[in-house]
Amino acid sequence: MPPALEPNPYDPYAQTAMSPQPPTPTYPGYNPPSMPGVTMPPSMAPQPKRGRGMVVLISVIVLILLVGGSAIGLVAYNNNQNTLHANATATAQAIVNTTAIANTTATANAQATTAASTYPFSNKLILNDPLVDNSKGVNWDNNKDNGCFFSGSAYHSVDDQIKTYNTCAATKADYTDFTFQIQMMIKSGDDASAGGLIFRADNTNDKFYRLYIDAQGNYGLLVSVDSTGSNGNARDLKDGVASSFETGTGTTNTIAVVVRGDQISFYVNQQLVTSVTDGTYTHGQIGVLSQDLGSKTEVVYTNAKVWQLS
C-alpha cells in the first residue's frame, strides 16, 4: 500500500490550503455567511449591549430630577405657607391691636363723658387735701387766736361769739369755675350751730359767697360785700332745708358747691339741694366757717377737694 501523500513543505499553495484556519466568531442570534474568506464589515458587526445600563442611568437622572424638583417645590411651598401664616398672624395681631386701641379710646371717652355730665362735673382734680396740715400749698389760715387751726388730723373753725360767724380761708387759692367739696362735722354747739363754705372770696375784705348749714339741715346762701353790721353786709340768695343732710352734732356730711359762670349749685351728700344765679364775684379763695347763733360752735373739716371746670 503506497504511503499516504504528505503535503510538500515547500509548496506554498499546499501550505495555504492546508494551514489551519482560525474559528469563525459567532454571536447569539447571528449566523454569519458561510462564504469562505469573506470578512464582515465593522459596521455590520454586533456591538456590546448598552441599552439596559443607559436606561438605568437615565432613570436615575430622571428620579434625581423628580426628587430634587419635588424637594425644591416642597421647600418653596413651605416657605410660601410660612409667609402666608406670618402675614395672616401679623394682620390678625394688627386687628387685635387696633381693636384694643379703639376699645381703650372708647372707654376713655365714655369715662370723660361721664365725668363731664355727673357730679362733680369734671375729672380735673386740682386740689386733694386731707386737711391734716398745710402741706398742699394753698395756705390755710392756721392761727388759734383767729379760731382757725389744724388739730387731730383735721382742720377746725371755732366761733365763740353769739350771733356771729368766723371764716377760715385758704389764702393762696384762687379759683374761677370749679367744684369744691369737703367733709364737715359740727363737733359742738346747739341746734342752730352751723358750718359751711366761702368761695370766690377776698377774705381780708369780707367779700365772698357764703353758704351755711346748721345741725338741723337749715341752710342759707348769701353774698357778702363787707363786714358792716352784726352779720356783715350780706344779701340773701336762697335759704331752705336740705333733706339729704344727716342732722345733729357729731355727724359727718359731705357738702359741696358747683360754681360755673354766674351759676351756683349747692349739694349735700352728693344730692342737689338748690341752684341760684348771681355774678357778683367771678373768682377767688375758698374756705370754711363756723357760726354761733346761741352757743359756742366748733366745726371740724376733712378731705377738701377742688375740681376745675372747663
For residue range 221-268, what is the model confidence (pLDDT) as tens digits? 999 988 776 556 899 999 999 999 999 999 999 999 999 999 999 999
For residue range 205-214, what is the model confidence (pLDDT) as tens digits? 999 999 999 9
Please spell the DSSP secondary structure of 191-216, one letter per residue.
TT-EEEEEEEEEGGGTEEEEEEEETT
- The per-residue pLDDT of the chain, averaged, comes to 78
The residue among 20 and 241 whose pLDDT is bigger is: 241
Domain extent listing, the chain:
55-117, 125-308
Rounded mean pLDDT, 191-216: 97
pTM: 0.64
Q: Are 274 and 264 in contact (CB under 8 A)?
A: no
pLDDT of the residue at 206: 94
Q: H or E stretch including 291?
A: strand 284-292
For residue range 45-65, what is the model confidence (pLDDT) as tens digits? 344 444 444 444 445 454 445
For the 125-308 domain, the top CATH level (class) is mainly beta
The residue assigned the cell 419635588 is: 70
pLDDT tier for residue 107 given thresholds of 50, 70 and 90:
low
